[in-house]
């Protein structure tokens, strides 16, 4: 916006330069034409900028009023306070990665859509995200990244793929009640503390079965019948309404069906059994004693919960993907326009001379497209430095992990919200300083083109 | 409370503009005659005044009903506006700085009263307001609404932040009764886990303010009120051993996956979901700690559980034999201008009559600490009981600590105190949490 105003103002200044009027009159006229723009620029750009600069040098009172002169301490804060440092770090990640990726993706799309039929249809589809507000895109991607596979597309796919190769375990919720009979963890499996011998029943209590909706196959647990071999029962030592005695099979307690039980002696698994509907299991072949019973982890390890898209490590990449989805189409449209302006004869000449398509792209298309590529890249740098909305929206559903996605513009907003106007102003000024080189470059580029 | 509202307001903003229209039509019948504590006759005919607050939805309806009753009595014309975007502190700060404050603002942070008083931006309470406040409220509430020994505000509503909500069915299934001590709470959690409840205690770590409330209740019980007051004003550092004790105690629950599930998952659960997990159709949790306003969250659910039968409450348990004490929060109305109707309206707000309208308007979820308000005014028994508890503790309560801290420390989503406790929830590192809290506390200005 500002750039346009500046360039328009410059253009009008240039236009009045070589006029036939006397120099004095021309300057006067230029002044008249420039006045409205100058007034607006002063009121809405220069004054706020200067005031922000001044405000950033003052401390904040409790309700936001400027108090004492702070020197550069508000600026020092940005490089010491952990949230602001996180913001700086993420801004660097954004600037280093995103403009390049957007330009490359846009280029790929532009080249590919030129080669296919229905090119316009593809372009429309790819450009469509630009027509959606950042807020709406942010909300959409928030849904994609939701943890529950029933809500989040990302995890529905991740869990679907995972479960195809490694099915969910049957009883992740079961765990021993106390450590007297069984010890261990769901991730490592459980092991009996004591050893068991044939002839005396092994009672293995677990708890945690969902009693409101118990497994259909489960039947009330019973003491193992007497007979040959090592016999035992694996049951859920809790009944609806509570009140049973721990370690004793009370009426109403259910057996846990279908669990694997290993008999281990001297570190070696000597026999394997599976529990019945009433929880009983039998090792008919075992006749002596000294067996440790172990429940392998395969039945208990916690269910795969998918990928923490908005977790500590993935949140910034996840937001970047959403941003790419929006801006790749934008870059594509600009680059496609630039490509259509490339003289066909240059391409054809290269092809006639026997250049491969890759060579044509590298030696002819890319160099001729360089000015447009540069414009896209620099626009993206400016855009990414002041990135706010999509980060802000997606952050909302990341809970405690939101801080790992912090960027400078969000930090500015937070400080402002806390009525720390000095700190917020300092962040604003730093943003301006960061954007300035790209701006200067852009303005120069425009000037070069207009000549 | 304010923080809850801030979050809700963003989503509710579209809906409420419709609701407020409906409110104007329905509320005219609720004013009744009586009580001599407010001016009568049409003494303020033609005086109009503005009120800024952050209430939307049912709360706004109830407050509007009070304004309507006052207007009818006095002939004044009060206009209530909820702050845009739910950011009352920001909107008010800007208005005051710009020289156009509202005549009255409803503040949820007592610290703000002191700030505005020290800058001479608010009006001291008139004699009528003073006598109404001292006649109807415990002295501690008056103290919270004062600065420099002068009364400025009137308590409007309050919430009890020492309430633990539970799913009655889940307790029956597990055969347990509400625990009275911290150790019993842990034992109850283990029993619930054995009975098949996946995540017995639901912690809404996605909203950091729920974690500050947990901490404050534990700190109030392990460290006592004196240290609580000191830590509230940052007169002792967060590296104090008393903070270590409280965090270590908290860790007995926060650090046990059998009780709260995976902490990495808990830190993503927002407050509303943490309540929902306990009271939805197929609950995954049985206990959720949060303030009395959980009732509103429950009843605004898609398939609401019945408060009082399905959803019940027990007081935050005692720790190592600590005496009963409550944590509370609330909103205060303060006059910013010498508008002729402002002080009479404040006096009216302090009256049992206004309190009755506030709490009895359906859907408001308001509790009042007005001790002259009859319990029968509440629409249901549970809120009546909660209000009675709050009134009965008298001065034996402490105001929400983070609500009294500067917003940059105690009120910023996912940052500073909220963020530090979220980090502590995940990694359980007491010493590191203390260091970070102290570092963050030092970097903001305390009054």
pLDDT at B204 over 80: yes
- pLDDT for A327: 93
What is the b/e burial string over B317-342, where b = at least 16 CB atoms within 10 angstroms of the residue's CB? bbbeebeebbbbbbbbbbbbbebebb
- pLDDT for A23: 59
Tell me, yes or no, whether A210 and A255 share the same domain.
Answer: yes
Mutate to test the interface with A, among B408, B416, B438 (most CBs of A within 10 A): B408
User: Which tokens go with A33?
Assistant: 């034409």
pLDDT at B155 over 70: yes
Nearest beta carbon to residue B198 from set A173, A395, A419: A173
The CA angle B106-B108-B111, to the nearest 5 degrees, is 110
A8 is a domain residue? no
Tell me whether residues B445 and A241 touch, CB distance under 8 A.
no
Nearest beta carbon to residue B194 from set A59, A207, A417: A207
Distance between CA atoms of residues A58 and A422, nearest Å: 6
Averaged pLDDT of chain B:
86
Distance between CA atoms of residues A46 and A39, nearest Å: 10
> Confidence band (pLDDT; 50, 70, 90) for A22?
low
> Confidence band (pLDDT; 50, 70, 90) for B214?
very high
> Confidence band (pLDDT; 50, 70, 90) for A13?
very low
- pLDDT for B8: 41
> Confidence band (pLDDT; 50, 70, 90) for A24?
low
Tell me whether residues B174 and A242 touch, CB distance under 8 A.
yes
Mutate to test the interface with B, among A400, A411, A418 (most CBs of B within 10 A): A400
The owner of tokens 């006029």 is: A19
| B397-408 pLDDT tens trace | 999 999 888 878
| A192-202 pLDDT tens trace | 988 888 888 88
- pLDDT for B271: 92
> Of the segments A97-101, A307-311, B143-147, B280-284, which one has the largest average pLDDT value?
A97-101
Q: Looking at A16-20, A32-36, B217-221, which range is the least confident one?
A: A16-20
| Sign, CA torsion A345/A349/A352/A356 | negative
- pLDDT for A20: 55
- pLDDT for A224: 86
Tell me whether residues B425 and A64 touch, CB distance under 8 A.
no
Number of domains in chain A: 2
Percentage of residues in chain A having pLDDT higher than 90 = 35
User: Which tokens go with A184?
Assistant: 């261990």
pLDDT at B142 over 70: yes
- pLDDT for A21: 53
Nearest beta carbon to residue B196 from set A63, A211, A415: A211
Tell me, yes or no, whether B303 and B337 share the same domain.
Answer: no
* CATH for B53: 3.40.190.10
pLDDT at A266 over 60: yes
Number of domains in chain B: 2
> Which chain B residues contact residue A207 at CB under 8 A?
193-196
> Which chain B residues contact residue A415 at CB under 8 A?
408
Tell me, yes or no, whether B262 and B120 share the same domain.
Answer: no
**Domain end among B399, B415, B433:** B399
Tell me, yes or no, whether A313 and A292 share the same domain.
Answer: no
> Confidence band (pLDDT; 50, 70, 90) for B421?
very high
Query: Which residue is closest to B419 within chain A, CA to CA?
Result: A400
Query: Which residue is closest to B437 within chain A, CA to CA?
Result: A82
Q: Looking at A20-24, A57-61, A218-222, B329-333, which range is the least confident one?
A: A20-24
- pLDDT for B324: 87
Tell me whether residues A420 and B408 touch, CB distance under 8 A.
yes
Tell me, yes or no, whether A287 and A315 share the same domain.
Answer: no
Task: Kindly report the number of other CB atoms within 10 A of residue B379's CB atom.
Answer: 14
Distance from CA of A391 to the nearest CA of B (A): 14
B447 is a domain residue? no
Tell me whether residues A310 and B268 touch, CB distance under 8 A.
yes
Tell me, yes or no, whether A287 and A314 share the same domain.
Answer: no
B424 is a domain residue? yes
Tell me whether residues A62 and B115 touch, CB distance under 8 A.
yes
Distance between CA atoms of residues B308 and A346, nearest Å: 81
pLDDT at B30 over 80: no
Average pLDDT over residues A263-272: 89
**CB B197 within 8 Å of CB B170:** yes
Torsion of CA B138, B144, B150, B155, to 10 degrees: -70
Distance from CA of A56 to the nearest CA of B (A): 16
Query: Which residue is closest to A83 within chain B, CA to CA?
Result: B415
| B157-175 pLDDT tens trace | 999 999 999 999 999 999 9
Whole-prediction pTM: 0.83
> Confidence band (pLDDT; 50, 70, 90) for A317?
very high
Tell me, yes or no, whether A75 and A151 share the same domain.
Answer: yes
Tell me, yes or no, whether A376 and A282 share the same domain.
Answer: no
Distance between CA atoms of residues A294 and A316, nearest Å: 43
> Confidence band (pLDDT; 50, 70, 90) for B35?
very low
Using alpha carbons, select from B276, B247, B267, B391 the residue that is nearest to residue B330. B391
- pLDDT for A247: 84
A106 is a domain residue? yes
A53 is a domain residue? no
- pLDDT for A61: 74
Average pLDDT over residues B232-259: 95
Average pLDDT over residues B214-232: 95
Using alpha carbons, select from B216, B313, B211, B326 the residue that is nearest to residue B271. B211
| B270-307 pLDDT tens trace | 999 999 999 998 899 999 999 988 988 888 777 788 88
B394 is a domain residue? yes
Domain that holds residue A253: 182-299
Distance from CA of B9 to the nearest CA of A (A): 14
pLDDT at B1 over 50: no
* CATH for A397: 1.10.3720.10
Contacts of B355 (CB under 8 A, 6+ apart): B136, B368, B370, B373, B377
Average pLDDT over residues B92-98: 83
> Confidence band (pLDDT; 50, 70, 90) for A15?
very low
Average pLDDT over residues B219-242: 95
Tell me whether residues A403 and B193 touch, CB distance under 8 A.
no
pLDDT at B266 over 50: yes
> Confidence band (pLDDT; 50, 70, 90) for B447?
low
Domain that holds residue B280: 163-324+406-442
> Which chain B residues contact residue A59 at CB under 8 A?
445
| B78-91 pLDDT tens trace | 999 998 777 777 78
ipTM (interface predicted TM): 0.80
> Which chain B residues contact residue A397 at CB under 8 A?
270
**CB B168 within 8 Å of CB B311:** yes
pLDDT at A8 over 60: no
A20 is a domain residue? no
| A145-171 pLDDT tens trace | 998 888 889 999 998 898 888 776 678
> Which chain B residues contact residue A427 at CB under 8 A?
none
| A356-406 pLDDT tens trace | 888 888 888 889 899 899 989 999 999 999 999 999 999 988 888 898 999
Give strand pairing partners of B334: B105, B153
Tell me, yes or no, whether B173 and B308 share the same domain.
Answer: yes
């Amino acid at each position: 916006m500002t750039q346009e105003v500046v360039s328009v103002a410059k253009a009008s200044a240039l236009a009045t330069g070589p006029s036939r009027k006397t120099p004095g009159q021309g300057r006067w006229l230029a002044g008249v034409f420039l006045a409205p723009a100058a007034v607006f620029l002063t009121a809405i750009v220069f004054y706020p900028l200067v005031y922000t600069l001044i405000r950033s040098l003052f401390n904040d009172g409790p309700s936001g009023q400027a108090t004492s002169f702070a020197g550069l301490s508000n600026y020092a804060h940005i490089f010491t306070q952990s949230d602001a440092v996180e913001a700086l770090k993420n801004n660097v990640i954004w600037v280093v990665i995103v403009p390049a990726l957007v330009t490359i993706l846009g280029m790929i799309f532009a080249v590919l859509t030129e080669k296919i039929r229905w090119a316009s249809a593809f372009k429309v589809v790819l450009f469509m995200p630009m027509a959606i507000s950042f807020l709406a895109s942010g909300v959409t991607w928030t849904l994609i990244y939701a943890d529950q596979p029933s809500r989040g597309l990302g995890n529905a796919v991740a869990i679907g793929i995972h479960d195809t190769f490694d099915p969910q375990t049957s009883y992740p919720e079961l765990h021993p009640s106390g450590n007297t009979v069984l010890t261990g963890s769901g991730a490592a499996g459980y092991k009996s503390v004591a050893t068991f011998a044939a002839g005396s029943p092994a009672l293995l209590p677990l708890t945690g079965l969902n009693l409101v909706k118990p497994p259909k196959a489960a039947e009330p647990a019973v003491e193992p019948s007497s007979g040959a071999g090592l016999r035992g029962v694996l049951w859920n030592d809790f009944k609806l309404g509570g009140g049973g005695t721990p370690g004793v099979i009370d009426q109403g307690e259910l057996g846990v069906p279908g669990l694997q039980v290993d008999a281990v002696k001297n570190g070696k698994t000597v026999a394997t059994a599976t529990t019945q509907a009433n929880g009983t299991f039998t090792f008919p072949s075992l006749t002596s004693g000294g067996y440790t019973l172990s429940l392998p982890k395969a039945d208990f390890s916690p269910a795969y919960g998918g990928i923490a898209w908005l977790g500590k490590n993935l949140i910034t990449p996840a937001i970047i993907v959403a941003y790419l989805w929006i801006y790749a189409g934008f870059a594509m449209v600009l680059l496609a326009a630039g490509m259509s302006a490339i003289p066909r004869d240059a391409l054809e000449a290269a092809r006639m001379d026997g250049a491969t398509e890759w060579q044509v792209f590298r030696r002819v298309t890319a160099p001729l497209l360089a000015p447009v590529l540069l414009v896209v890249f620099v626009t993206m740098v400016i855009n990414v430095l002041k990135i706010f909305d999509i980060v802000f929206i997606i952050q909302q559903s990341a809970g405690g992990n939101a801080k790992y996605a912090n960027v400078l513009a969000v930090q500015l907003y937070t400080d402002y919200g806390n009525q720390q106007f000095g700190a917020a102003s300092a962040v604003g000024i730093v943003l301006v300083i960061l954007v300035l080189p790209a701006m200067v470059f852009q303005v120069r580029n425009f000037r070069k083109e207009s000549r | 409370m304010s923080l809850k509202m801030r979050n809700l307001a963003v989503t509710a903003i579209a809906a409420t503009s419709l609701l407020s229209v409906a409110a104007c039509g329905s509320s005219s019948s609720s004013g009744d005659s009586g009580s001599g504590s407010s001016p009568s006759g049409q003494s303020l005919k033609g005086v109009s005044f503005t009120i800024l607050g952050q209430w939307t939805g049912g709360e706004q309806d109830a407050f509007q009903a009070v304004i309507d009753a006052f207007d009818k009595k006095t002939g004044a014309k009060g206009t209530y506006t909820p702050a845009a975007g739910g950011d009352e502190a920001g909107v008010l700060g800007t208005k005051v700085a710009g020289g156009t404050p509202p005549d009255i603002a409803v503040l949820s942070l007592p610290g703000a009263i002191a700030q505005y008083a020290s800058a001479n931006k608010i009006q001291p309470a008139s004699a009528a307001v003073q006598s109404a406040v001292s006649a109807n409220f415990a002295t501690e509430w008056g103290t919270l609404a004062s600065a420099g020994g002068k009364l400025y505000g009137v308590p409007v509503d309050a919430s009890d932040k020492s309430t633990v909500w539970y799913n009655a069915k889940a307790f029956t299934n597990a055969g347990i009764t509400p625990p009275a001590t911290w150790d019993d709470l842990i034992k109850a959690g283990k029993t619930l886990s054995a009975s098949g409840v996946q995540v017995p205690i639901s912690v809404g770590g996605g909203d950091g303010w729920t974690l500050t409330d947990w901490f404050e209740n534990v700190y109030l019980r392990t460290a006592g009120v004196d240290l609580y007051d000191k830590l509230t004003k940052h007169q002792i550092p967060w590296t104090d051993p008393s903070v270590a004790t409280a965090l270590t105690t908290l860790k007995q629950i926060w650090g046990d996956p059998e009780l709260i599930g995976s902490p990495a998952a808990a830190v993503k659960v927002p407050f509303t979901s943490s309540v929902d997990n306990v009271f939805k159709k197929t609950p995954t949790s049985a206990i959720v700690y949060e303030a009395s306003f959980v009732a509103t969250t429950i009843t605004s659910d898609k398939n609401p559980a019945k408060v009082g039968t399905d959803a019940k409450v027990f007081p935050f348990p005692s720790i190592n034999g600590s005496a009963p004490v409550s944590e509370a929060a609330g909103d205060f109305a303060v006059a910013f201008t010498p508008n002729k109707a402002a002080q009479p309206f404040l006096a009216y707000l302090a009256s049992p009559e206004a309190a009755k309208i506030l709490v009895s308007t359906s859907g408001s979820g308001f509790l009042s600490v007005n001790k002259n308000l009859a319990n029968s005014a509440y629409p249901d028994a549970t809120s009546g009981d909660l209000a009675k508890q709050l009134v009965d503790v008298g001065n034996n309560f402490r105001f929400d600590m983070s609500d009294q801290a500067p917003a940059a420390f105690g009120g910023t989503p996912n940052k500073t105190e909220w963020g530090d406790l979220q980090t502590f929830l995940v990694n359980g590192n007491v010493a590191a949490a203390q260091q970070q809290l102290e570092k963050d506390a030092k970097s903001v200005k305390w009054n």
